[in-house]
Amino acid sequence: MNITRNTVILVLGLLLGACGEKAVNVSNDDVESFPAKELTVIVPYSPGGGVDTTVRMLAAVAPNYLNDNKIVVRNMPGGGGVIGQTAGAQADADGYNLLAFSSSVTSNPFTKNASYNHLSFGLIAMYGYDPEVLIVPAGSPHNSIEDFLEAGKVKKITISTSGHSTSHHIASLVLSSKTGVDFTYLHNKGAAEQIQQILGDHVDATMMGISEASEYIKNGSLKSLGIMTAERNASFPDLPTFIEQNIDIEWGAFRGLAVPAATPAGIQQKLAEAFRGIILDPENAEKMAIAGYPISYRSPEEFRKYVVSVVENLEQILPSLKAQ
């Protein structure tokens, strides 16, 4: 029987996510009454970015699905997400401590001194997918990716990201690898700093999620040259894709929720059920859509499969990721 590496990782992930290596003992009554107090969600970025904003939107309707208990958001920025992600992996595995699990959880273990990887977590739900867009100042002379890349062949362009090895950084590296144009990177702690830098003309461009840039694109204070999707975004029908501009790239940041892998299976199941309701709550879905964060729900099993595929793709670009 041919057992692929993908299968091995998936099975290990499901086992760790369901049972944990040192699962906490809980009774049926404990599971039945869960949660009995407020939950904490660690956001490993500064306030104001897409991850922070969407978690707070989920928190607004959460008590309706958590026995009237609230979600407390704890921002722990730094290290491109490593500080908060480490805290999330090492938190008490009692179900009351969650991590805002985004794309950098998969990439940081490859490039940083991280003590965790994707198998360190039990995945609860994915709620968002945010395709990358290339953003330039409103007064930039570049009006297409072709213009932008031609300029990059003459003078090295500076691109800001929300941190080394984040989805934004990786999207830029993929662009570089496909076009042969190298960039200088300015890494920081989150989308809020990226916006400040690009609005102030301190960098030539920035790579970020469409949801984080949508307000600025719509009001004309920033300009986007392309979106990394297979088809045009319905909310931005005039924004061409990279593929249309002869660069075959599809990439985006995902957002979800996770707990330490040792969290008991029964508690994880309760959380999965609760967060499915929270994420798909009509009020939440409407507010997220208006804010530019359309729901893209995946169950724990579906989320785990997707994360495994992302990790395998990251392994293929690992040399360039380490070099930048």
The span from the CA of 206 to the CA of 211, in Å, is 14
Going by pLDDT thresholds of 50, 70 and 90, the confidence category of residue 174 is confident
pLDDT exceeding 90 applies to what percent of the chain?
Answer: 66
What is the reported pLDDT for 35?
97
Give the end of a domain, one of 183, 211, 227.
227
Average pLDDT, the chain: 88
Total domains, the chain: 2
What is the reported pLDDT for 16?
42
- Domain match, 15 and 89 both: yes
Which of 27-31, 183-187, 226-230 is the least confident region? 27-31
Give the end of a domain, one of 227, 261, 287.
227
* pLDDT reading at 155 higher than 60: yes
- Domain match, 196 and 284 both: no
- Domain match, 9 and 88 both: yes
Q: Is residue 247 part of a domain?
A: no
- Domain match, 120 and 257 both: yes
What is the reported pLDDT for 7?
42
Give the domain CATH number at 221.
Answer: 3.40.190.10
Q: Is residue 232 part of a domain?
A: no
Q: Is residue 123 part of a domain?
A: yes
> Residue 277, SS3?
helix
Mean local confidence (pLDDT), 249-258: 90
What is the reported pLDDT for 177?
85
Going by pLDDT thresholds of 50, 70 and 90, the confidence category of residue 8 is very low
pLDDT tens, position by position, 208-222: 988 889 899 999 999
- Domain match, 113 and 142 both: no
What is the reported pLDDT for 9?
41
* pLDDT reading at 179 higher than 80: yes
What is the reported pLDDT for 15?
43
What is the reported pLDDT for 191?
84
> Residue 3, SS3?
coil
Give the domain CATH number at 26.
Answer: 3.40.190.150
What is the reported pLDDT for 162?
86
- Domain match, 139 and 213 both: yes
Provide the CB-side half-sphere exposure for 35 (13 A, CA). Answer: 25
- Domain match, 211 and 107 both: no
Mean local confidence (pLDDT), 1-30: 50
* pLDDT reading at 11 higher than 70: no
Provide the CB-side half-sphere exposure for 133 (13 A, CA). Answer: 25
On the 0-12 / 13-18 / 19+ scale of CB atoms within 10 A, 24 is middle
Domain residues for the domain of 9 are: 5-129+252-323
Q: Is residue 35 part of a domain?
A: yes
- Domain match, 202 and 257 both: no
Mean local confidence (pLDDT), 97-110: 93
Give the end of a domain, one of 194, 227, 260.
227
Q: Which amino acid is at 134?
A: L
* pLDDT reading at 241 higher than 80: yes
- Domain match, 105 and 154 both: no
What is the reported pLDDT for 292?
78
**Which two three-digit tokens encode residue 299?**
């169950």
Q: Which of 81, 105, 35 is nearest to 272 (CA)?
A: 35
* pLDDT reading at 313 higher than 70: yes
Q: Is residue 246 part of a domain?
A: no
- Domain match, 118 and 11 both: yes
- Domain match, 88 and 162 both: no
Q: What residues pair up with 159 in beta bridges, in sequence order? A: 185, 205
pLDDT tens, position by position, 262-304: 999 999 999 999 999 999 999 999 999 888 788 989 999 999 9
Q: Is residue 241 part of a domain?
A: no
Mean local confidence (pLDDT), 138-154: 95
Q: What residues pair up with 166 in beta bridges, in sequence order? A: none
Q: Is residue 239 part of a domain?
A: no
* pLDDT reading at 183 higher than 70: yes
- Domain match, 154 and 116 both: no
Going by pLDDT thresholds of 50, 70 and 90, the confidence category of residue 323 is low
Q: Is residue 181 part of a domain?
A: yes
Mean local confidence (pLDDT), 244-259: 91
